[in-house]
Amino acid sequence: MPRTAHLLSVLALLLLLIAPAHAQDAGLTLPVPTGSAVGYRQYALTDPDRAELFTDRADDLRAFPIAVYYPASPAADAVPAPYAPEAESAAYQAALMIPAMMFDRIQAQVYVDAPLLAREGGYPVLLFSPGFGLPVRFYSALLSEVASRGFVIAVVDHPYSQMASVFPDGTTLRANDAGSDVYDPQAQDVILRVWVEDTVHTLDVLAELNASDSVLAGGFDLERVGAFGHSFGGATAANVTLVDARVSAALNMDGTVFGAAGEGVAVPFMVMSGAPEIVTEMQLFALGMTREAFEALQAQYTATLAGALSASSAPYHLHIEGAIHNTFSSDLALLQVLLPMFITPDMVGTIDPFRANEVIAAYTVAFFEAHLLGQAAPLLEAVSEDYPEVRFLHEG
């Protein structure tokens, strides 16, 4: 379920008031990918066949930015790009009240527009959607690691639902009521449909890039496509498989399976879960929810996961000890290094954030290697001594 909004509001206030005085001097270096170097490239997409449903302008077409992470071969003297471009830092500062200096203190591990690392036949393609409201940038560590292991990942931003969606030219679209009212069932259905359609259109555009892009042409194996996401993005990934046969496997990171996918996902489907969220009465008041309504959402989470997994040709449900919902936003959890007094385990989990990133990436790679590439995946077959934090609740 979309459980990030309250954390973001609390985090923003803390960062605005006290983070600059308490940030540790060492900064934060994101984990170095264990595979190849990783390239990063951004695009602005417009779908000519869809009106923008979240604005009142009659001639407004649906437009959204995407970013592509890919195995790269940067020049020997190349240096990783800044964590976030200046316009993006400014957008996050305005939307989330996160001081720009926080991003200046993070060392990323991607090379903007670096040459593609050639591979005959191209790389399998993964489509990714973030948690509701969270900046797509907050998944950089995870996405970089997975891409380095031999995948192209197209990260879909969903304007008017995310707190700030930043296009390559610096244009920024902020969340509005129409795009973010996920607690109203009818509005939720519309938002989910838009996210799914964004993802499908992205896959259409990837075919064009594969034919003619100056950097990425020939880099995509579009016969091997999977989808994954966090929270509402995980529900999006599951539902994409119902409407687009090109997507042959899906992974949901701790999200309720909203929509028709809750009745069954036929393709190989993995769910990663953290511990159930403990929500205080004060937090419920801030969200405008009763305890009964929250418990109903928790029950819906359990029921929809069971329904989605019941129809899968290869179902997996694993629990990561020490993880909670926001652990899966890798960079948010890693910010504990900068702000250990204020980004606490009750916000992002008790598992070490670097270890969490390693575990989540390992099982993501194993799942897609098995079900897109047909490779052996021992991690999916039995409990691993290398990852004692992981317990299978359901497996294929």
Q: How confident is the model at residue 30 (pLDDT cuts 50, 70, 90)?
A: very high
**In the prediction, which pLDDT does 8 show?**
53
Residue 245 DSSP class? T
Q: Mean pLDDT, to the nearest integer, of 318-331?
A: 94
- Residue 208's H or E segment, with its range, is helix 185-212
Asked whether the predicted pLDDT for residue 24 surpasses 50, the reply is no
pTM: 0.91
Q: Mean pLDDT, to the nearest integer, of 270-275?
A: 92
Q: How confident is the model at residue 18 (pLDDT cuts 50, 70, 90)?
A: very low
Q: How confident is the model at residue 277 (pLDDT cuts 50, 70, 90)?
A: low
End-to-end CA distance of the chain: give it in Å, rounded: 24
User: Quick one: what percent of the chain has pLDDT higher than 70?
Assistant: 91
Q: Which residues pair with 43 in a beta bridge?
A: 66
Nearest of 164, 132, 113 to residue 233 by alpha carbon = 132
Asked whether the predicted pLDDT for residue 104 surpasses 80, the reply is yes
Domain boundaries, the chain: 5-394
Output the average pLDDT for the chain: 90
Tokens at 165, concatenated: 């969606």
Question: Per-residue pLDDT tens for 213-262?
Answer: 999 999 999 999 999 999 999 999 999 999 999 999 999 999 989 999 99
Give me the phi and psi of 260, to 5 degrees please: -65, -25
The mean-pLDDT minimum among 9-13, 51-55, 364-368 falls in 9-13
Q: Locate tokens 């990918």: which residue?
A: 33
Q: Which residues pair with 123 in a beta bridge?
A: 220
Side-chain half-sphere of 159: how many Cα atoms within 13 Å? Answer: 22
Coil, strand, or helix at residue 3? coil
**In the prediction, which pLDDT does 87 show?**
87
Q: Which residues pair with 173 in a beta bridge?
A: 165
Q: How many CB atoms lie within 10 A of CB 45?
A: 17
CATH 3.40.50.1820 for the 5-394 domain, yes or no: yes
**In the prediction, which pLDDT does 94 show?**
81
Nearest of 316, 318, 337 to residue 389 by alpha carbon = 318
Antiparallel, parallel or unpaired: β 61-72 and 152-156: antiparallel
**In the prediction, which pLDDT does 394 show?**
65
User: Quick one: what percent of the chain has pLDDT higher than 90?
Assistant: 70
Coil, strand, or helix at residue 160? coil
**In the prediction, which pLDDT does 344 show?**
86
**In the prediction, which pLDDT does 118 show?**
94
**In the prediction, which pLDDT does 19 show?**
44
Distances in Å between the Cα of 73 and the Cα atoms of 35, 69, 80, 293 are 12, 13, 12, 50
Q: Mean pLDDT, to the nearest integer, of 377-389?
A: 94
Question: Per-residue pLDDT tens for 130-188?
Answer: 999 889 999 999 999 999 999 999 999 999 999 999 999 999 999 999 999 888 889 99
